[in-house]
């Protein structure tokens, strides 16, 4: 689902390798965690703590905290403003993100 | 309008006074310049504690009140999140632990359940607690409510008797005293309410209400900050605090005293509170104070270091020079009753306060002696 | 830049990993805007940073602003990977240019993954080169919808429709007072013609009524609406889509100014803004504000305000700015003219009350604390809540991770408490971005 813009940035654009819930993914460098997941068709990565509803991004610019995700063991990282880096272990979150 | 009783203040104390009066068959008007619980109540944690009270009249009132809270929760349904979670007081040093054990022993003689917990047994009660503590005391009688919901639902219960009405957004501008020196009415922004009895449940602003009736009441504000964390699973089970908090409550030191009180809530957030400063009515957060609270909380629960602070709020706790509330009839003005100055214990003492105030008004023997809480005590002090 | 060139030591903090903000996010050769090109602006800025005229701190969030002595202390933390990296910056003068975020209105289904803000969709495509979906609907109100659709189309996105709740042609009537803003209207014309080329319908006076889908967005239902945004019966239409980029104007980020008690005003879009004078000075001496945070007005206005704010900052530090008085005078006149045009846009694309009837009892109004519209309405009808604060304390709406940034104005509106006083009172947030307790913990007694 990558846009043309990312393809035009050079023939050998550097890539980033990460895992999401154990599955390896590769994306162009410079993407946010949310963008990296959405580009692979993953639109939600969290279930809310009361209604267990799936959530993905809402504001997309770091204000609403709806897109929280667990990054390298640290819960409640905003997927929409955090850039993905090689070696990142990204995990979906249930509830508060503290293993509840 | 004409009622038996006007309650000034729609906080939790005013709510309980109105509820007890309405239950006793009196007609009641509750007036507040703001909304329900918009003052001291809304800025508190909702503590119903016996653990922090030294033997004396306040502890007796706390024990009475605690039983009444449990009864109210039963009759009003679980509408205000009453949680009999129990308190756990811990000590970092062995010397403080010794002190704490002695204090608990004295409390036990007054009917408080206080169970010593050795350091090795603390993790069983609180799995996430620091392993560097000397020991603690468990107080199973300590409880918590959501104070805003409590005030709202208790007022709703009073109204459902058909004898109480709520008038919010209605500032009291005057209290009428007739030629014989007795209360005759309350003037509000929305008109005059004729009444023979006024209950001053204005919390931090109780002194100003007393002044409208022409009497002096030495009630001062103390600022307290509360830190609110991100929502978490129930990682803190009790109300947990360090032993020096007990000393702070009875302190006469001006300026800052902090000692973190840590507890979880129904909503998942953890509240860290108990900073106390006498700085007038300034709600601007002081990050030095917040930083010390955070430090103390982390010392008790190390996992909190990784937990995010979402917000902080300040509230004002009304206190009297002798740290006892003012409860009962004012001998200087017939019909004027006070129910204020509860400092940080307003929620906990509210049910008992409303109960004895109503008893006093209808003229039955009060469940406990109100002399230690009498407004007359300040007059005596001035003389000596 | 004005401050640095005038001999002041300047520190710039930005939450992003690169300068440019939302508008110039990921921009190499940015489109839109008039006057000085962004490329030239960036060259000059980067030069000052290289020459140490500007201390640039990226990936840095300000969580608190406090007044201190004759200036301020700004408390900052690192990005989400480095939340514990805190610092304190002392300054005589603080210029706030914290921008804005999309204003959301709740509707059934708005919590489904795939429903996102217009700004969020734009950030995905501009910042990361990723499209939000295969079939995208852009909806809400305002000229920004066109900019979002344009960005998506330019990146090869399949935009099914642009759903605009108001009648854009009213701009001709409202803009008469501000006609010289020709650059802006040219931008809009370019966006509209791009839509036409791709045969993307621009559905005016249409509004998204609900979103449907099991675990993610599958379709939306839209209706024709009248001028009050009430649906016209029999005009329901289902659009299949897997992404909805939606926004009803913007909300200014005013948290830091609110912390020090700066006066706020209600902008012509009905939203909160920091009140400033013609030199961008707030009611707090030394606190200066520029851009969307002083009222939503777009990039050209923001850039001009930034320059004037720089002058005010220099003057507050007791220096003479590098700009001539006549240039400053021209700048303030241009600001007034562009404000006039922004007002015309807000008059053309207002919020109308018809949306409220769509919010059924089950719809969550507060996404963080998962508070339903029913619970909020009960707080008013059964529990006697008389103001926004009571509703919040009784229902927990607005008490979660986002601290009501998304829902506070709409909860106010649903309860009928949407007064200026309530909007201002509800905007006080002592912590501008969550910060770990371990990062603020200290034993020190004095600052």
C291 pLDDT tier (thresholds 50, 70, 90): very high
Pick the closest to residue B61 from B360, B339, B369 (CA basis): B369
Q: Which of A59, A62, A3, A60 is nearest to A28 (CA)?
A: A3
Contact C297, C344 (CB under 8 A): no
Tokens of C366: 């507060």
| Cβ atoms within 10 Å of B93's Cβ, excluding its own | 12
Any chains having at least 3 CB pairs less than 8 A from chain B are: A, C
The CATH number of domain C104-248, selected from 3.30.70.360, 3.40.605.10, 3.30.420.130, 3.50.50.60: 3.50.50.60
User: C-alpha dihedral over C204, C207, C208, C209, to 10 degrees?
Assistant: -150
Give the model confidence (pLDDT) of C34-69 as tens digits: 445 788 888 999 999 999 889 999 999 999 999 998
C127/A contact by beta carbon, under 8 A: yes
Q: Give the best-scoring range by mean pLDDT among B305-314, C337-346, C431-440.
A: C431-440
Read off the pLDDT of each residue in C233-255 and give the average, rounded to a whole number.
Answer: 97
To the nearest 10°, report the CA torsion of B39, B44, B49, B54: -80
Query: Residue ranges per domain, chain A?
Result: 14-94
Mean pLDDT of chain B: 89
Nearest to B203 by CA among B301, B346, B382: B346
- CATH number for the segment(s) B5-64+147-218+322-383: 3.50.50.60
- pLDDT higher than threshold 70 for residue B258: no
Domain ranges of chain C: 2-101+251-345, 104-248, 359-425
Distance CA A14, CA A30 (A): 9
Taking Cα atoms as reference points, which of C25, C100, C85 lies closest to residue C409? C100
* Cross-chain Cβ contact A56/C116 below 8 Å: yes
Interface of A with C in 16-45 (CB under 8 A): 28, 30-32, 34-36, 38-39, 43-44
Size of interface B-C (CB pairs under 8 A): 120
Strands A46-47 and A54-55: antiparallel
Three-state SS annotation for chain C: CHHHHCCCCEEEECCCCCCCCCCCCCCCCCCCCCCCCHHHHHHHHHHHHHCCCEEEECCEEEEEEEEECCEEEEEEEECHHHCCCCEEEEECCEEECCCEEECCCCCCCCCCCCEEEHHHHHHHHHHHCECCCCCEEEEEECCHHHHHHHHHHHCCCCEEEEEECCCHHHHHHHHHHHCCCHHHHHHHHHHHHHHHHCCCCEEECEEEEEEECCCCCCEEEEEEECCCCCECCCCCEEEECCEEEEEECEEECCHHHHHCCCCEEECCCCCEEECCCCCCECCCCCEEECHHHHCCCCHHHHHHHHHHHHHHHHHHCCCCCCCCHHHHHHHHHHHHHHHHHHHHHHHHCCCCHHHHHHCCCCCEEECCCCEEHHHHHHHHHCCCCCCHHHHHHHHCCCCCCCCCCCCHHHHHHHHCCCCHHHHHHCCCCCCCCCEEHHHHCCCCCCC
In chain C, the residue whose alpha carbon lies closest to the alpha carbon of B270 is C437
**Can you tell me which residue has the tokens 């659009």?**
C239
The residues that bridge with B139 in the sheet, in sequence order, are B87
- C401 contacts in chain B (CB < 8 Å): 230-231, 310
pLDDT grade for B302, boundaries at 50, 70 and 90: very high
Which stretch of A27-31, B253-257, C143-147 has the lowest confidence by average pLDDT? B253-257
- pLDDT given for residue C180 in this prediction: 54
Domain B87-140+220-319: CATH superfamily is D-Amino Acid Oxidase, subunit A, domain 2 (3.30.9.10)
Distance CA(C274)–CA(C283), nearest Å, equals 9
Q: Compare CB distances from C124 to A35, A76, A82 and report the shortest one's residue.
A: A35
Q: How confident is the model at residue A10 (pLDDT cuts 50, 70, 90)?
A: very low
Q: What is the pLDDT of residue B265?
A: 86
Q: Which residue in chain A is spatially nearest to C401 when comparing CA positions?
A: A65
Closest-CA residue in chain C for A67? C113
Q: Is the pLDDT of residue C358 over 80?
A: yes
Average pLDDT over residues B131-153: 93
Contact C59, C412 (CB under 8 A): no
Confidence band for B254, pLDDT divided at 50, 70 and 90: very low
The CA radius of gyration of chain B, in Å to the nearest whole number, is: 20
Q: Tally the C-alpha atoms within 13 A of residue C176's C-alpha that lie toward its C-beta.
A: 3
Q: B268, A76: Cβ pair inside 8 Å? A: no
What does the pLDDT average to over B286-290?
Answer: 87
For chain B, give the number of residues. 384
Strand partners, C266: C272
Please state, for a pLDDT cut of 70, what percent of chain C lies above it: 94
Mark yes or no for CB contact A49/B230 under 8 Å.
Answer: no
Copy the structure tokens of residue B71: 């009864």
How would residue C203 be classed by pLDDT, with cut points 50, 70 and 90? very high
pLDDT at C91: 96
At C378-420, the pLDDT tens digits run 988 877 777 888 888 889 999 999 999 999 999 999 998 888 9
- Is a pLDDT exceeding 80 seen at residue C356? yes
CA distance A66 to C407: 12
Q: Which CATH class is domain C359-425?
A: mainly alpha
Token pair in block for residue C135: 């079939």
User: Domain A14-94 carries which CATH code?
Assistant: 3.10.20.440
Model confidence at C446, pLDDT cuts 50, 70, 90, reads very low
Contact A96 B233 (CB under 8 A): yes
Predicted local confidence at residue C345, as pLDDT: 92
Number of A to B CB contacts under 8 A, please give it.
Answer: 18
Q: Which residue of B has its CA nearest to C388?
A: B35
User: Cβ of B233 and A95 within 8 Å?
Assistant: yes
Cβ atoms of B320 and B326 closer than 8 Å: yes
Q: pLDDT tens digits for C129-145?
A: 999 999 999 999 999 99
Per-position b or e across B320-358, b if 16+ CB within 10 A of its CB: beebbbbbbbbebbebbbbbbbbbbbbbbbbbbbbbbbb
For testing contact with chain C, the best of B11, B227, B297, B309 (most C CBs within 10 A)? B309
Dihedral angle computed from the Cα positions of residues C393, C396, C400 and C405, in that order, rounded to the nearest 10 degrees:
-70
| Mean pLDDT taken over chain C | 91
Place C33 in a pLDDT band, splitting at 50, 70 and 90.
very low
Q: Nearest C-alpha of chain C: how many angstroms from B280? A: 17
pLDDT value for B280: 52
Whether C182 has a pLDDT exceeding 90, the answer reads no
Per-residue HEC secondary structure of chain B comes to CECCEEEECCCHHHHHHHHHHHHCCCCEEEECCCCCCCCCHHHCCCEECCCCCCCCHHHHHHHHHHHHHHHHHHHHCCCCCCECCCEEEEECCHHHHHHHHHHHHHHHHCCCCCEEEEHHHHHHHCCCCCCCCCEEEEECCCEECCHHHHHHHHHHHHHCCCCEEEECCCCEEEEEECCCCEEEEEEECCEEEECCEEEECCHHHHHHHHHHCCCCCCCEEEEEEEEEECCCCCCCCCEEEECHHHHHHCCCCCCCECCCEEEECCCCCEEEECCEECCCCCCCCCHHHHHHHHHHHHHHCHHHHHCEEEEEEEEEEEECCCCCCEEEECCCCECEEEEECCHHHHHHHHHHHHHHHHHHHHCCCCCCCCHHHCCHHHHHHHHC
Read off the pLDDT of residues B23-54 as tens digits, 9 standing for 90 and up.
999 999 999 998 888 888 887 788 899 998 88
Chains with 3 or more CB pairs under 8 A to chain A: B, C
Q: At what angle do helices C373-381 and C408-415 cross, to 10 degrees?
A: 50
pLDDT of residue C276: 97
Span of A89-93, B368-372, C181-185, C334-338 with lowest mean pLDDT: C181-185
Domain C2-101+251-345: CATH architecture, name and number where available = 3-Layer(bba) Sandwich (3.50)
- C-beta of residue C414 within 8 angstroms of C-beta of residue C359: yes
What is the per-residue DSSP string for chain A?
-B-HHHHTT-TT--EEEEEETTEEEEEETT-BHHHHHHTTT----EE-TTT--EE--SSSSSSS-TTEEEETTEEEEETTTSBP-TT-EEE-EETTSS--
**Residues C212, C210: Cα–Cα separation, whole Å:** 7
């Amino acid at each position: 689902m990558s846009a043309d813009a990312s393809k035009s940035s050079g023939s050998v654009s550097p890539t980033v390798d990460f895992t999401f819930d154990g599955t390896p993914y590769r994306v162009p460098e410079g993407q946010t965690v949310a963008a990296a997941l959405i580009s692979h068709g993953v639109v939600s990565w969290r279930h809310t703590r009361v209604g267990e509803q799936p959530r993905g991004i809402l504001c997309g610019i770091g204000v609403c905290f709806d897109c929280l995700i667990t990054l390298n063991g640290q819960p409640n990282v905003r997927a929409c403003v955090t850039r993905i880096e090689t070696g990142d272990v990204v995990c979906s979150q249930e509830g508060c993100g503290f293993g509840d | 309008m004409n009622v038996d009783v006007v309650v000034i203040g729609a906080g939790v104390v005013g709510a309980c006074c109105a509820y007890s009066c309405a239950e006793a068959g009196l007609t009641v008007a509750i007036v507040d310049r703001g909304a329900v619980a918009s003052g001291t109540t809304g800025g508190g944690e909702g503590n119903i504690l016996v653990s922090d009270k030294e033997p004396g009249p306040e502890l007796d009132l706390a024990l009475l009140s605690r039983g009444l809270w449990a009864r109210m929760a039963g009759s009003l349904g679980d509408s205000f999140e009453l949680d009999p979670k129990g308190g756990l007081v811990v000590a970092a040093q062995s010397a403080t632990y010794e002190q704490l054990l002695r204090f608990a022993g004295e409390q036990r003689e007054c009917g408080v359940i206080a169970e010593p917990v050795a350091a090795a047994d603390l993790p069983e009660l609180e799995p996430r607690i620091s392993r560097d503590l000397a020991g603690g005391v468990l107080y199973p009688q300590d409880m918590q409510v959501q104070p805003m919901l409590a005030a709202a639902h208790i007022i709703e219960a009073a109204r459902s008797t058909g004898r109480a009405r709520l008038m919010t957004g209605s500032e009291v501008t005057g209290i009428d005293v007739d030629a014989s020196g007795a209360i005759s009415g309350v003037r509000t922004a929305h008109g005059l309410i004729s009444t023979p009895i006024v209950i001053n449940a204005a919390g931090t602003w109780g002194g100003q209400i007393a002044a409208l009736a022409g009497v002096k009441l030495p009630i001062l504000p103390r600022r307290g900050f509360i830190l609110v964390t991100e929502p978490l699973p129930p990682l803190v089970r009790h109300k947990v605090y360090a032993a020096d908090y007990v000393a702070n409550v009875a302190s006469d030191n001006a300026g800052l005293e902090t000692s973190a009180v840590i507890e979880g809530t129904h909503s998942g957030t953890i509240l860290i509170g108990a900073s106390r400063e006498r700085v007038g009515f300034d709600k601007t957060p002081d990050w030095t104070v917040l930083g010390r609270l955070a430090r103390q909380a982390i010392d008790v629960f190390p996992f909190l270091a990784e937990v995010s602070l979402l917000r902080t709020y300040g509230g004002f706790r009304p206190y009297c020079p002798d740290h006892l509330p003012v409860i009962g009839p004012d001998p200087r003005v017939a019909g004027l009753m006070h129910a204020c100055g509860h400092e940080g214990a307003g929620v906990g003492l509210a049910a008992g306060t409303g109960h004895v105030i109503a008893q006093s008004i209808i003229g039955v023997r009060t469940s406990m002696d109100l002399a230690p809480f009498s407004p007359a005590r300040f007059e005596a002090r001035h003389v000596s | 830049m004005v401050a640095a060139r005038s001999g002041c030591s300047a520190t710039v903090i930005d939450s992003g990993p690169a300068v440019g903000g939302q508008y110039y996010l990921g921009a190499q050769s940015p489109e839109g805007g008039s006057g000085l090109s962004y490329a030239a602006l960036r060259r000059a800025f980067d030069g000052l940073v290289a020459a140490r005229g500007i201390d640039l701190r990226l990936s840095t969030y300000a969580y608190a602003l406090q007044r201190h002595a004759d200036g301020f202390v700004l408390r900052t933390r690192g990005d989400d990977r480095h939340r514990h990296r805190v610092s304190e910056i002392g300054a005589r003068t603080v210029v706030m240019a914290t921008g804005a975020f999309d204003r959301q209105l709740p509707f059934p289904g708005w919590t489904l993954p795939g429903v996102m803000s217009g700004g969020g969709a734009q950030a995905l495509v501009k910042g990361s080169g990723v499209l939000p979906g295969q079939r995208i609907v852009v909806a809400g109100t305002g000229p920004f919808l066109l900019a979002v659709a344009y960005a998506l189309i330019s990146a090869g996105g399949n935009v099914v429709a642009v759903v605009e709740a108001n009648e854009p042609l009213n701009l001709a009537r409202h803009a008469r007072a501000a006609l010289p803003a020709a650059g802006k209207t040219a931008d809009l014309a370019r966006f509209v013609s791009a839509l036409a080329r791709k045969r993307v319908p621009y559905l005016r006076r249409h509004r998204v009524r609900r979103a449907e889908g099991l675990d993610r967005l599958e379709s939306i239902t839209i209706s024709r609406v009248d001028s009050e945004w009430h649906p016209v019966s029999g005009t329901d239409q289902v659009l299949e889509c897997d992404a909805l980029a939606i926004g009803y104007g913007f909300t200014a980020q005013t948290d830091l100014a609110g912390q020090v008690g700066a006066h706020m005003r209600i902008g012509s879009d009905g939203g909160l803004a920091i009140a400033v004078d013609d030199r961008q000075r707030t009611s707090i001496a030394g606190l200066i504000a520029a851009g969307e945070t002083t009222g939503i007005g777009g990039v050209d206005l923001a850039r001009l305000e930034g320059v004037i704010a720089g002058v005010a900052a220099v003057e507050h530090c007791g220096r003479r700015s590098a700009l001539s008085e006549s240039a400053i005078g021209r700048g303030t006149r241009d600001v007034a003219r562009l404000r006039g045009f922004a007002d015309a846009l807000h008059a053309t694309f207002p919020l109308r009350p018809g949306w409220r009837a769509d919010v059924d009892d089950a719809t969550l109004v507060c996404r963080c604390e998962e508070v339903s519209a029913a619970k909020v309405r009960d707080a008013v009808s059964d529990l006697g809540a008389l103001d926004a604060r009571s509703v919040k304390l009784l229902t927990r709406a607005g008490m979660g991770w986002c601290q009501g940034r998304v829902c506070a104005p709409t909860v106010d509106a649903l309860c009928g408490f949407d007064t200026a006083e309530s909007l201002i009172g509800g905007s006080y947030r002592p912590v501008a971005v969550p910060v770990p307790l371990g990062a603020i913990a200290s034993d020190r007694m004095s600052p």
